[in-house]
Amino acid sequence: MRRLSWEKYVLVAPFFALFFGLIGYPLYVAFTLTFYEKTIGLPPVFVGLDNYTELLGDPLFHRALVNTLVYTGGSVAGKLVLGLAMALALNEAFRGRSLVRGLLMLPWIVPIFVSAHNWRWIYDGTLGVLNLFLLQVGLLREPVAWLGNLHTVMPCVIIANIWRGFPFFGISLLAALQVIPREPYEAADVDGASSVQRFLAVTLPHLRMVLLVVVILSTIWTFNDFPLLWILTAGGPAGVTETLPLLGYKLAFISALISKGVAVAMCMLPFLGVLIYLLTRQLRRPGRD
């Protein structure tokens, strides 16, 4: 028994070594750095909690936080609706279903660099496809700078993120739909349930745990999204699309304020925890089982 006990620790030791080497130690160093004033080219100076107090009182940080919540909420909601619709449609038998499945996975498969530049071209104020189409059908009288307009830029980047991410929801929910047993549906048909009633009483409860996982994962990914926003707007115009990841990057690598940039990343951790807790509580509350 003693030998088996030592073997247990030996078997898990590589995992813990890898975890602390790749995640634990870098996180510790980053967290420690936030208590110093570190500018590129200068030695660090201990400042305590000054980086955090300055951030919490900075209007730019407040704006970035609101932008992040709006961007994350709108994107995840849109991906959930489109992904669920995709899964329900592909769960039905029709000719060419395999081809459609493959085509609908393209937004998720295409590299983010390529898809972001495609959307930038679509939204271009002079040569963009969107302007060309709307002008031809008579919905616009003159071109619109979609990514340069304070009122249209956030919806535009949210739409781009939804387009890229909804196949993840669709394929995950489709996999869950295909393992639902037929007996509950047959019983619902005998009771005279409508399509909506079958969906609410049978389909949705069976999808609950998968929905929980994909919503949490998508929330984390979208909250931390950087490349799509950076390529499309770089946080502009006038900071309307500047989220916390973009703010942290600009502070650390453009303004050369390494400690403040890392402090932004540390401030994101509790917000992610709160979002995950709220989503879990909402999806697992009584009456949804």
Reported as a single tens digit per residue, the pLDDT across 191-203 is 777 888 888 888 8
Positive/negative CA dihedral, 281, 283, 284, 287:
positive
**Whole-prediction pTM:** 0.87
Q: Percent of the chain having pLDDT more than 70?
A: 94
Residue 284 predicted with pLDDT over 70: no
Q: Which residue has the higher pLDDT, 76 or 179?
A: 76
Q: Which two tokens stand for residue 212?
A: 């929980």
pLDDT (0 to 100) of residue 188: 80
Average pLDDT over residues 220-225: 92
DSSP secondary structure letter of residue 202? I
Residue 125 predicted with pLDDT over 70: yes
Residue 287 predicted with pLDDT over 60: no
For the stretch 163-188, pLDDT in tens is 999 999 999 999 999 888 888 887 88
- Which of the four pLDDT bands, split at 50, 70 and 90, describes residue 288? very low
pLDDT (0 to 100) of residue 98: 83
Distances (CA, A) of 252 to 29, 138, 245: 15, 46, 11
Residue 289 predicted with pLDDT over 50: no
For the chain, list the domains and their CATH numbers.
59-283 (1.10.3720.10)
Return the H-helix or E-strand segment holding 45: strand 45-46
- Which of the four pLDDT bands, split at 50, 70 and 90, describes residue 286? low
Full DSSP string of 100-126: HHHHHTHHHHS-HHHHHHHHHHHT-TT
Least confident of 8-12, 145-149, 261-265: 8-12
Instruction: Give yes or no for a contact between 275 and 223, defined as CB atoms under 8 angstroms apart.
Output: yes
Average pLDDT over residues 2-27: 79
pLDDT (0 to 100) of residue 96: 84
For the stretch 208-217, pLDDT in tens is 888 888 988 8
For the stretch 251-262, pLDDT in tens is 988 988 889 999
Q: Which residue has the higher pLDDT, 282 or 99?
A: 99
Q: Which residue has the higher pLDDT, 278 or 107?
A: 107
Average pLDDT over residues 228-256: 93
Q: Output the average pLDDT for the chain.
A: 87
pLDDT (0 to 100) of residue 282: 64
pLDDT (0 to 100) of residue 3: 54
Contacts of 217 (CB under 8 A, 6+ apart): 168
Contacts of 289 (CB under 8 A, 6+ apart): 205, 208
